Amino acid sequence: MKKILLLGAGRSAASLIRYLLTHAAANGWHLTIGDVAVEHLQQTVAGLPYAEVLVFDVHNRAQRAAEVSKADLVISMLPAVFHPEVAKECVKQGKHLLTASYVTPVLRELHEEALQKNLLLLMESGLDPGIDHMSAMAVLQQLRGKGARLLSFKSYTGGLVAPESDNNPWHYKFTWNPRNVVLAGQSTSKYIQDGTYKYIPYPQLFRRTETIQVKGYGAFEGYANRDSLSYREPYGLTEIPTMLRGTLRRPGYCAAWDALVQLGMTDDSYQLENSENLTCRQFTEAFLPPASGDLQQVQQRVGAYLNLPIGSDVLQKLEWLGLFTDAPVALARATPAQVLEKILQKKWRLESGDKDMIVMQHQFVYELNGKKRELKSSLVVKGEDEVHTAMAKTVGLPVGILAKLLLQGRISQRGVVIPIHPAIYEPVLEELKQYGVNFVEQEREW
């Protein structure tokens, strides 16, 4: 019997847990799920001889070592900050590791030791990063097989709310870690455009957007991710003139988020004084010049400070968040970003019955037989409800499929690896089609 240790049972793990439990009996797996809170899983595993849950503290070195020692495969769905300790324990004890998170320099340093021990640390295996790598590499392989010369590659992904559940002016709800959303883009974004390196500092990021059209779903706006350049070599695109990876939102979101950035509300570098006693209005006022003249109301002062007319779409979005009200913040020793996160969690949560939506689009421009062509490969996935979300589905299913392939001995790569090899991504993309994760391609002459 193969033993799987799954660490982390948050919202992004729902579909992964369902997949592993569905395939456990037939494949002879025993699944142990560990997290700081597992009460919500007791009913799920009740009566299953091949599954158990345990309260797990990643900081408990003895427990971490003991549980890893029992496993054949460790899957970490913990916050990315905890992956290095888990990965080091896996390498120390000779256990394979699978995660959906980015390869960091600390994790990359484990590559040689993992190779020597015949171990696989398979990273970036969720949605973004994950399905984006796999689907892009599949198209690139297809184009290279034709002899095409790649001129431009752009890739955008967004975790959004489905149209039928879109009932707020931001056209957005949380389907992922709220803190990550609040801190998104807080470093200079880097990409290459027509052979020229481009850099967008954080204060300008949400002003530099591109309109993306997805057939059947209308317009989206995309902004650049932090680093689009580091994937040129893994993708085999070191000579490509244009390469950009970005995030999708609905039109209007970025302009309103930029207002929060310009006010200073996304700053996570210092603590506010007396934050537990602030109201939302006082929190907003803290970032404004003193009141003067006719500009007494906080909404007017925000408009004047940001050069926005009263009644503008951006101010309406800020008002809808409750930033101009006397609702209490009630959060001690908080950074501005933490206060904003708490405010947003009340307004952007998925309600009962809500459905989210994942949208991904790759844009390839290439030259073949003397003609320029553009190929768009688009993915749209909707969630079932507020638990089995499209986000959980597209993050968890590829991780589950890769776990199955690895335990069946069908993945030969070793060391620190991302899923850019045909032997890895081809069976994953094929099985994902059974779950409605399927790309639609459109092509035209340039």
> Which CATH number goes with the domain that contains 7?
3.40.50.720
β-strand partners of 120: 415
The Cα diameter of the chain in Å comes to 76
Cα-based distances in Å from 223 to 182, 200, 277, 285 = 15, 10, 36, 28
12, 118: one domain: yes
221, 315: one domain: no
Give the CATH number for residue 364. Answer: 3.30.360.10
185, 81: one domain: no
323, 380: one domain: no
β-strand partners of 31: 4, 51
368, 237: one domain: yes
244, 304: one domain: no
Confirm whether 339 is domain-assigned.
no
- Residue where one domain finishes, among candidates 94, 123, 152: 123
Confirm whether 195 is domain-assigned.
yes
Q: C-alpha angle 431/13/182, rounded to 5°?
A: 115
Confirm whether 394 is domain-assigned.
no
pTM for the model stands at 0.94
Cα-based distances in Å from 446 to 93, 213, 375 = 53, 16, 10
314, 197: one domain: no
288, 140: one domain: no
pLDDT score recorded for residue 175: 87
285, 189: one domain: no
46, 118: one domain: yes
89, 158: one domain: no
Q: Which residues of the chain have pLDDT under 70?
A: 293-296
Cα 127 to the center of its chain, rounded Å = 7
Confirm whether 22 is domain-assigned.
yes
- Residue where one domain finishes, among candidates 123, 147, 174: 123
Q: Which among 364, 441, 442, 358 has a CA at the least distance from the CA of 398?
A: 358
pLDDT tens, position by position, 332-371: 999 999 999 999 999 999 999 999 999 999 999 999 999 9
Structural domain span for residue 77? 2-123
Confirm whether 31 is domain-assigned.
yes
Lookup result for tokens 């009141």: 291
pLDDT tens, position by position, 278-326: 999 999 999 999 877 655 689 999 999 999 998 899 999 999 999 999 9
Confirm whether 418 is domain-assigned.
no
- Residue where one domain finishes, among candidates 123, 141, 167: 123
Could you tell me if residue 124 is left (phi over 0), alpha (psi between -120 and 50 degrees) or otherwise beta? left
Confirm whether 135 is domain-assigned.
yes
118, 199: one domain: no
pLDDT score recorded for residue 293: 61
Confirm whether 413 is domain-assigned.
no
Provide the domain count of the chain: 3
